[in-house]
Amino acid sequence: MLLAAAPLAGALAQGAGVPVTTDPVQVGPVPVEIIANGIVASESVVTIRTRVDGQIERVLVTEGQMVRRGQPLFVLDSRMNQALLAQQEAQLARDRAQAARYQADARRYQSLRGESFASQQRFEQAQAEALAGAATVRATEALIAQTKLNIEFATITAEMDGVLGAIPLRAGNFVRQAENTAITTLTQTNPILVSFAVPERWLPAVREAMRGEPPVVRAKAEADKGPPAEGRLVFVDSAVDTTTGTILLKARFQNADGKLWPGQYVQVAMAPRIDREAITVAAAAVQAGQQGRYLFVLAPDGTARRRPVELLRTAGDRAVVRGQLAAGEKVIVDGAQRVTEGTRAVERNAPQRVSSLQ
């Protein structure tokens, strides 16, 4: 064992160095990203109820179906209203005939009064009868319009695009307007909102971002393997929640593919601003010690030099730090635990020099 270790010890004594891998320090723009947990919420949920009394004659949709605005959902029995409409239309014909006769009488008595063959009282009576006849026609026309509206209400249609909820009632059930019974619900899913709360320290950055183009917000469910959905911030609450020290935000997402679902928990990422002169290093290079965080830089003379840094945040596999670092300096990543201040190190990822024999 001593004989086998002797060559290695001799190599280190001769200054062969500890093998390490390095990554250059980068200085440039990095988004200041906020990470939060959010919940998906619909912009609008409509409870569908009947506006007329009647028996459900047909159910044209199924539970959970995606429907479009104006699409028929349920048909109620409207035969009673149709019979009432026929009666009112007949009454309207009678009222119009009677009103026409009153108008003719009023014109006739007006001419007779001019020739002194009719009294003023009889003329005024004829005028009043003509006005009353016209009012009766308008009243009957209003009743017909109301009955037609009730017949139209017998076909219940979707008020917007959305997904239907559970349908507890089926064909044959009798529904009454006065009972206010819900037939089903209609939930809008496109566009859709994501609500999330961030610490109040981010409020100035968020408000500054909202003065221009609203910042992009990304949302992704934990089990979703695809790319995150992208939306825009649309709402900043008017007050900070004093119990939690957070501010409520909402973002709107186009959701034609149904990736986001109401009530779903998602992870939200938002970048309200960009740090133009951020110093970033490989996150694996940053270590923690008793005096704070630090990393090792491979100096030009091939020795490791310890540099204290302040970890500001992480962005993917990069760490945004503050410290005495310059762009392009080589930070030790793999092998940093095996070096100390002044230790000689050799890059394993350094390009090999190729020599040619003349």
pLDDT digits (tens, 9 = 90+) for 87-128: 999 999 999 999 999 898 888 877 776 556 667 777 788 789
The answer to whether residue 157 scores a pLDDT higher than 90 is yes
- Which of 166, 195, 196, 188 has the alpha carbon at shortest distance from 256? 188
pLDDT tens per residue, range 192-224: 999 999 999 999 999 999 998 899 999 999 888
Sequence ranges of the domains in the chain: 18-30+276-347, 33-44+188-272, 52-76+155-184, 78-153
Which positions ≥6 away from 99 have C-beta within 8 Å? 130, 133, 134, 136, 137
Q: What is the mean pLDDT of the chain?
A: 88
CA pair distance 251, 210, nearest whole angstrom: 12
Q: Which pLDDT band holds residue 313 (cuts at 50, 70, 90)?
A: confident
pLDDT score of 273: 84
In this structure, of 22-26, 121-125, 131-135, 156-160, the range with the lowest mean pLDDT score is 121-125
Q: At residue 274, does pLDDT exceed 90? A: no
Give me the count of residues in the chain.
Answer: 358
Q: Which residues of 211-220 are buried (b: 16+ CB within 10 A; e: fewer)?
A: eeebbbbbbb
DSSP state of 343: -
193 has which bridge partners?
41, 252
| Sequence-distant (≥ 6) Cβ neighbours of residue 211 within 8 angstroms | none
Crossing angle for the helix pair 120-153 and 79-114, nearest 10 degrees?
160
Q: What is the per-residue pLDDT across 10-32, written as a single tens digit (0 to 9) for each? A: 434 445 789 999 999 999 988 88
DSSP state string for 31-99: EEEEEEEEEEE-S-EEEEE-SS-EEEEEE---TT-EE-TT-EEEEE--HHHHHHHHHHHHHHHHHHHHH
314-335, pLDDT tens digit by residue? 877 889 999 999 999 999 999 8
Q: In a 3-state reduction of DSSP, which class is residue 183? A: strand
User: For domain 33-44+188-272, is the CATH number 2.40.30.170?
Assistant: yes
How many angstroms from the chain centroid is the CA of residue 240?
Answer: 21
> What is the fold of 18-30+276-347?
2.40.420
pLDDT value of residue 9: 42
- Would you state the pLDDT for residue 14? 46
Q: pTM score, two decimals?
A: 0.70
Q: Is the pLDDT score of 47 beyond 50? A: yes
Both tokens of 282, joined, read 């490989």
Contact 312, 30 (CB under 8 A): no
| Per-residue exposure over 75-96, b if at least 16 CB sit within 10 Å of its own CB, e if not | bbebeebeebbeebeebbeebb
3-state secondary structure of 182: strand
What residues does 310 pair with on adjacent strands? 322
Say yes or no: domain 52-76+155-184 is CATH 2.40.50.100: yes
Residue 191: CB atoms within 10 A of its CB come to 16
Nearest CA to 59 among 183, 162, 182, 146? 183
β-bridge pairing 265-282 and 287-289? unpaired
Q: Which residue has the higher pLDDT, 242 or 105?
A: 242
Whole-angstrom Cα distance, residue 49 to residue 305? 74
